[in-house]
Amino acid sequence: MNTKQKILSKLYGKDYLEYMRLDDLLFLFDEDEFKDKTLFDKNFSAVDRAIDKLVRDGYVKEYDRSYRITSEGLLFRGSGGYTKELLISKRSSIGFWTSIVSFIIACASFVISVLK
Protein backbone atom coordinates (compact mmCIF):
# COMPACT_ATOMS: atom_id res chain seq x y z
CA MET A 1 0.00 0.00 0.00
CA ASN A 2 1.50 3.34 -1.02
CA THR A 3 1.42 6.55 1.04
CA LYS A 4 -1.66 7.95 -0.72
CA GLN A 5 -3.60 4.76 -0.05
CA LYS A 6 -2.53 4.75 3.61
CA ILE A 7 -3.76 8.32 4.04
CA LEU A 8 -7.06 7.56 2.31
CA SER A 9 -7.60 4.45 4.42
CA LYS A 10 -7.07 6.51 7.59
CA LEU A 11 -9.42 9.19 6.30
CA TYR A 12 -12.21 6.93 5.02
CA GLY A 13 -11.82 3.93 7.34
CA LYS A 14 -11.81 0.18 6.79
CA ASP A 15 -14.40 0.47 4.02
CA TYR A 16 -11.76 2.03 1.81
CA LEU A 17 -9.53 -1.04 2.12
CA GLU A 18 -12.40 -3.36 1.14
CA TYR A 19 -13.31 -1.19 -1.85
CA MET A 20 -9.66 -1.04 -2.85
CA ARG A 21 -9.47 -4.86 -2.72
CA LEU A 22 -12.54 -5.09 -4.98
CA ASP A 23 -10.99 -2.68 -7.47
CA ASP A 24 -7.67 -4.52 -7.41
CA LEU A 25 -9.44 -7.76 -8.29
CA LEU A 26 -11.53 -6.06 -10.97
CA PHE A 27 -8.40 -4.60 -12.57
CA LEU A 28 -6.87 -8.10 -12.84
CA PHE A 29 -9.35 -8.92 -15.60
CA ASP A 30 -8.69 -8.00 -19.20
CA GLU A 31 -11.32 -7.74 -21.90
CA ASP A 32 -12.27 -11.13 -23.39
CA GLU A 33 -9.82 -12.97 -21.15
CA PHE A 34 -10.84 -15.82 -18.88
CA LYS A 35 -9.09 -16.08 -15.50
CA ASP A 36 -8.71 -19.58 -14.11
CA LYS A 37 -10.30 -20.04 -10.68
CA THR A 38 -7.06 -21.52 -9.37
CA LEU A 39 -5.43 -18.06 -9.69
CA PHE A 40 -7.55 -16.85 -6.80
CA ASP A 41 -6.69 -18.29 -3.40
CA LYS A 42 -10.19 -19.13 -2.22
CA ASN A 43 -8.81 -20.11 1.20
CA PHE A 44 -8.22 -16.43 1.87
CA SER A 45 -11.67 -15.25 2.98
CA ALA A 46 -11.18 -11.63 1.82
CA VAL A 47 -10.55 -12.72 -1.77
CA ASP A 48 -13.47 -15.16 -1.62
CA ARG A 49 -15.75 -12.43 -0.29
CA ALA A 50 -14.56 -9.95 -2.93
CA ILE A 51 -15.01 -12.37 -5.85
CA ASP A 52 -18.51 -13.23 -4.62
CA LYS A 53 -19.39 -9.51 -4.50
CA LEU A 54 -18.07 -8.92 -8.02
CA VAL A 55 -20.18 -11.83 -9.29
CA ARG A 56 -23.29 -10.63 -7.37
CA ASP A 57 -22.88 -7.09 -8.70
CA GLY A 58 -22.66 -8.44 -12.24
CA TYR A 59 -19.15 -7.16 -12.96
CA VAL A 60 -17.63 -10.64 -13.22
CA LYS A 61 -19.28 -13.77 -14.57
CA GLU A 62 -18.48 -17.16 -13.08
CA TYR A 63 -18.02 -20.19 -15.30
CA ASP A 64 -17.22 -23.80 -14.33
CA ARG A 65 -13.46 -23.31 -14.07
CA SER A 66 -12.95 -19.62 -14.67
CA TYR A 67 -14.13 -16.02 -14.28
CA ARG A 68 -14.57 -13.35 -16.94
CA ILE A 69 -15.25 -9.63 -16.70
CA THR A 70 -18.59 -8.44 -18.12
CA SER A 71 -19.30 -5.31 -20.13
CA GLU A 72 -20.74 -3.74 -16.99
CA GLY A 73 -17.49 -4.59 -15.21
CA LEU A 74 -15.41 -2.92 -17.92
CA LEU A 75 -17.55 0.22 -17.81
CA PHE A 76 -17.55 0.32 -14.01
CA ARG A 77 -13.78 -0.16 -13.91
CA GLY A 78 -13.35 2.61 -16.49
CA SER A 79 -15.41 5.03 -14.42
CA GLY A 80 -13.23 4.57 -11.34
CA GLY A 81 -14.69 1.50 -9.69
CA TYR A 82 -15.69 0.98 -6.10
CA THR A 83 -13.15 3.36 -4.55
CA LYS A 84 -14.41 6.28 -6.63
CA GLU A 85 -17.98 5.47 -5.54
CA LEU A 86 -16.90 5.47 -1.90
CA LEU A 87 -14.97 8.72 -2.20
CA ILE A 88 -17.91 10.46 -3.87
CA SER A 89 -20.36 9.24 -1.23
CA LYS A 90 -18.06 10.18 1.68
CA ARG A 91 -17.29 13.60 0.21
CA SER A 92 -20.96 14.37 -0.33
CA SER A 93 -21.77 13.46 3.27
CA ILE A 94 -18.87 15.62 4.50
CA GLY A 95 -20.28 18.51 2.48
CA PHE A 96 -23.73 17.99 3.96
CA TRP A 97 -22.48 18.05 7.56
CA THR A 98 -20.25 21.04 6.84
CA SER A 99 -23.26 22.96 5.55
CA ILE A 100 -25.29 22.02 8.68
CA VAL A 101 -22.51 23.23 10.98
CA SER A 102 -22.16 26.43 8.93
CA PHE A 103 -25.91 27.04 9.21
CA ILE A 104 -25.83 26.57 12.98
CA ILE A 105 -22.88 28.97 13.31
CA ALA A 106 -24.67 31.54 11.13
CA CYS A 107 -27.83 31.28 13.26
CA ALA A 108 -25.83 31.61 16.47
CA SER A 109 -23.98 34.62 15.08
CA PHE A 110 -27.26 36.24 14.09
CA VAL A 111 -28.77 35.68 17.56
CA ILE A 112 -25.64 37.07 19.25
CA SER A 113 -25.62 40.16 17.00
CA VAL A 114 -29.33 40.82 17.66
CA LEU A 115 -28.89 40.53 21.44
CA LYS A 116 -26.03 43.05 21.50
CATH number at residue 68: 1.10.10
Q: What is the pLDDT of residue 81?
A: 92
Q: At how many degrees (to 10) do helices 14-27 and 81-115 cross?
A: 150
pLDDT interval class at 95 (50, 70, 90): confident
* Mean pLDDT computed over 98-102: 84
With respect to residue 112, please indicate whether it lies within any of the assigned structural domains.
no
- Look up the pTM and report it: 0.67
DSSP character for 74?
A: H
For residue 58, give its domain range: 3-83
Q: Tens digit of pLDDT for each residue in 77-90?
A: 999 999 888 888 87
Specify the number of domains making up the chain: 1
Q: Tens digit of pLDDT for each residue in 25-38?
A: 898 888 778 888 77
With respect to residue 78, please indicate whether it lies within any of the assigned structural domains.
yes
With respect to residue 102, please indicate whether it lies within any of the assigned structural domains.
no
With respect to residue 22, please indicate whether it lies within any of the assigned structural domains.
yes
Contacts of 73 (CB under 8 A, 6+ apart): 26, 29, 54, 58, 59, 60
